[in-house]
Amino acid sequence: MITRRVYQPAGKNRPVTTARADCPDVGSSVSEGVRWYPRVRVERYSPAQTAWAMGRLGPVLHGDRLRQLFHEPEDGIVLDEGNSMVNGGLTNIINLLTGTAPSGNHSRVLSLGLGGGAAGSAVVGVGSDGTTAFAAAQAHLANASGEGAGNSWYQSMDVGYPTLTTPATINGQSTFQAGDANFLWAEWCWAAGAGVPTAGAVLANVYATAGSVVMMNRKIPASPLGSKQSGAAWVFNTSVTFS
């Protein structure tokens, strides 16, 4: 048991037990460190709403415009929160904090406002595999079933995203179009890379600069976010707060 002395307002020093990662037998714990904590909101616009919007806005929809057109999505809104960062994302953050020059899939930034397919745009991925347990070494979604058009899809963030709300929140948004990601959404991630991203089913092929992509996290919601059907447009909003 590890003890330390702390000052108590009553004027007495009392021993306080503190858990340490290198002392597994310690019974109580103190949580310390920086936390990346996302809150997810998926707006599920029906095929009828999507078709009507495409008739007015064109074939490529933007979540902000859909929100202006409709009072609410006909197929509802689903919420989730919490996160599991993978090794690639943790290494990426450490390299950015220490100023390490970009190399391979290291030091890839979530460039503010560069959504819509611009070079370096951040990406949101969704997948159908909600049963494969999280593992820190994972580098893409749909690990058990394998990446593919029916199992995974990676979509560039919308034009104008991500944004920053000071002091510590990054806001992301990706609109999944009528023909994309039409499967059960049971996992999700953020990813970054170099070069122009092209939406697709295999993360390693999304960015124009080969070998540059890094998956930041992999989250399996407690309940799936829903099954997207062909013809529907879904908007994936994420607010990630550091604390």
Query: Are 19 and 107 in a shared domain?
Result: no
pLDDT (tens place) for every residue of the chain, 243 residues total: 443 333 334 444 433 333 344 444 444 455 566 788 999 999 999 999 999 999 999 999 999 999 999 999 999 999 999 989 999 999 999 999 999 999 999 999 999 999 998 999 999 999 999 999 999 999 999 999 999 999 999 999 999 999 999 999 999 999 999 999 999 999 999 999 999 999 999 999 999 999 999 999 999 999 999 999 999 999 999 999 998
What confidence tens digit (pLDDT) does each residue in 46-65 have?
Answer: 999 999 999 999 999 999 99
Query: Are 16 and 40 in a shared domain?
Result: no
| Sheet strands (E) in 123-225 | 123-127, 152-156, 163-165, 169-176, 184-185, 187-192, 214-215
CA atoms within 13 A on the CB side of 66: 34
Query: Are 104 and 71 in a shared domain?
Result: yes
Beta carbons within 10 angstroms of residue 8's beta carbon: 10
The most distant pair of C-alpha atoms in the chain lies apart, rounded to whole Å, by: 73
Query: Are 6 and 117 in a shared domain?
Result: no
Cα torsion 61, 64, 70, 72: sign: positive
Query: Are 45 and 157 in a shared domain?
Result: yes
How far lies 126's CA from each of 69, 89, 154, 179, 190, in Å? 25, 17, 7, 14, 9
| Cα–Cα distance measured from residue 243 to residue 237, given in angstroms and rounded to the nearest whole number | 20
Query: Are 18 and 44 in a shared domain?
Result: no
Helix, strand, coil fractions of the chain, as percent rounded to 5: 15, 30, 55
Q: How many domains does the chain have?
A: 2
Query: Are 3 and 40 in a shared domain?
Result: no
Contact 124, 170 (CB under 8 A): no
Query: Are 77 and 12 in a shared domain?
Result: no
Which of 37, 54, 46, 39 lies closest to 226 in space, CA to CA? 46
Query: Are 125 and 13 in a shared domain?
Result: no
Query: Are 70 and 21 in a shared domain?
Result: no
| Cα–Cα distance measured from residue 45 to residue 71, given in angstroms and rounded to the nearest whole number | 11
| Cα–Cα distance measured from residue 4 to residue 82, given in angstroms and rounded to the nearest whole number | 32
Residue 1: give the domain boundaries: 1-32
Query: Are 75 and 46 in a shared domain?
Result: yes
Which pTM was predicted? 0.86
Query: Are 181 and 158 in a shared domain?
Result: yes
